[in-house]
Amino acid sequence: MFKLNKLTKKISFSLFAILISLSFASCQSKNENSDTKANNEASEEVKSDNEKEVSKTNTDADKEDQDKVDSKEEAKPVGDCCSPISKEIFVTADYLKDVIDGKNDIKDYVIAEVTWGEDDASPDYLKNHIPGAIHINTDTVEEGPVWNFKSDEEIVKSILNYGIDKDTTVFLYGPNSGVARVALAYLIEGVENIKIIDGGIKAWMDKGYETESKANKAVAKTDFKGEYPAHPDLIVSLEQAKKDIESKDENKQYITTRTYEEYIGETSGYTYIPKAGELPGAIYGHDEADYKNADGTYISYDDMVEMLKKEGVHLSKEMIFYCGTGWRAAIPLLKFYEKGFNVKLFDGGWNEWQMHDELPVQLGDPKTDVKMTTVGELSNDKAKKE
């Protein structure tokens, strides 16, 4: 009897607990339904206002999303993330002075001024150059009439003749983008530590560092100490460029680093290029002068990115730079490469493109007024005047 009473009490208590739980759940459901209804009503009240802002909101959201993607892409490595090879390319005059003074462990290095022609054609070399610097002729890495890079064998032979191999740290400087052109050629072949002295001889002399005027001759080497080319993927051929333009690949951007007059087809910018225009869809990437500060140093990476984004460049897409013959395009390419981006050079640029009558051409500014035609329809009077 005692056990029966105890059992009855337990059952009664359990039923009571179940009833309480059901009652609570019912109340909670009603509250949730009430909240949902209220939220829906509130949503309906602002729906009209929201619809008015859809266009602006979507535009802002797209921009924010793209900025986020671009920001993430800044960490995108070109190769092995754990490589011991430094990607630092642009360095100061102070950095080189420390090397010369033996304040770091760089022992095998070459300093070179880079210009077109031999040392007697340089505007500065036989007057003032950094002590120990040799002179490098841009003709050793490219040749006309297209002015594309020479063969890998020819370039590596010239590299060895200048006393440089894969492991040599090379400090380059010069008055124009010819220095970036040579730096890129050496990088492609596999010289692992390429440095450009930001500001060149002016930055060196502004520091009060000594110069010399006597010509220095390189001691040639015979062994490059590595396979070459090491980075052929940095180059886009004419055939690949034609395929990219024809397919209208939205993940690839062809960015032209030329003057605005060249960009809209008013002039070719070169005395030996008769036709003017751009590849269809080309983005204006600004001329060499826009990548320089008043003192001759290069603008910062952040300023460069801001400048290019205003023209429609997206860092999340593949960036293929080109100009007339590959000099100017090497500047932003190396700056982005230094940060680990997937960048390439269309080596032939406008010069090679305009040699083929069947290829399509963009004339004018796509932001305002643009016309599509072909190379064969262009006039031959757009060469830069002497």
pLDDT digit string, tens, across residues 179-192? 999 999 999 999 99
pLDDT confidence of residue 67: 47
Q: Which domains does the chain have, with CATH numbers?
A: 90-230 (3.40.250.10), 233-377 (3.40.250.10)
**Which of the residues are catalytic?**
323
Which residue from 271, 276, 264, 242 is spatially nearest to 147, judged by alpha carbons? Answer: 271
| 344-366 average pLDDT score | 98
If DSSP codes are grouped into helix, strand and coil, which group holds residue 197?
Answer: strand
Per residue in 313-344, pLDDT tens?
Answer: 999 999 999 999 999 999 999 999 999 998 99
C-alpha 92 chain-centroid distance = 21
pLDDT confidence of residue 386: 77
| 171-200 average pLDDT score | 98
pLDDT confidence of residue 1: 38
Predicted model pTM? 0.80
Q: Which residues pair with 370 in a beta bridge?
A: 364
A 10 A CB-CB count for 18 gives: 10
Which residue from 297, 315, 342 is spatially nearest to 92, judged by alpha carbons? Answer: 297
| 144-152 average pLDDT score | 97
| 137-150 average pLDDT score | 98
pLDDT at 3 over 70: no
Residue with tokens 């040749």, as numbered in its chain = 143
pLDDT confidence of residue 60: 46
Q: Which residues pair with 129 in a beta bridge?
A: 212
pLDDT confidence of residue 162: 98
pLDDT at 198 over 50: yes
Q: What is the mean pLDDT of the chain?
A: 85
pLDDT at 56 over 80: no
Alpha-carbon distance of 292 to 294, in angstroms, equals 7
pLDDT confidence of residue 201: 98
Asked whether the beta carbons of 194 and 172 are under 8 A apart, the reply is: yes
If DSSP codes are grouped into helix, strand and coil, which group holds residue 218?
Answer: coil
pLDDT at 13 over 70: no
If DSSP codes are grouped into helix, strand and coil, which group holds residue 126?
Answer: coil
Q: Which H/E stretch holds residue 364?
A: strand 360-365
Asked whether the beta carbons of 256 and 332 are under 8 A apart, the reply is: no
Asked whether the beta carbons of 191 and 170 are under 8 A apart, the reply is: yes
pLDDT confidence of residue 206: 97
pLDDT confidence of residue 47: 38
DSSP conformation class of 299: P
Peptide bond into 77 cis (omega under 30): no
pLDDT at 39 over 80: no
Q: Confidence band (pLDDT; 50, 70, 90) for 87?
A: confident
Alpha-carbon distance of 221 to 218, in angstroms, equals 9
Least confident of 104-108, 162-166, 358-362: 104-108
pLDDT at 245 over 90: yes
| 97-115 average pLDDT score | 96
Q: Which of residues 50 and 277 earns the better pLDDT score?
A: 277
Alpha-carbon distance of 169 to 195, in angstroms, equals 7
Contacts of 19 by beta carbon, 8 Å cutoff, 6+ apart: none
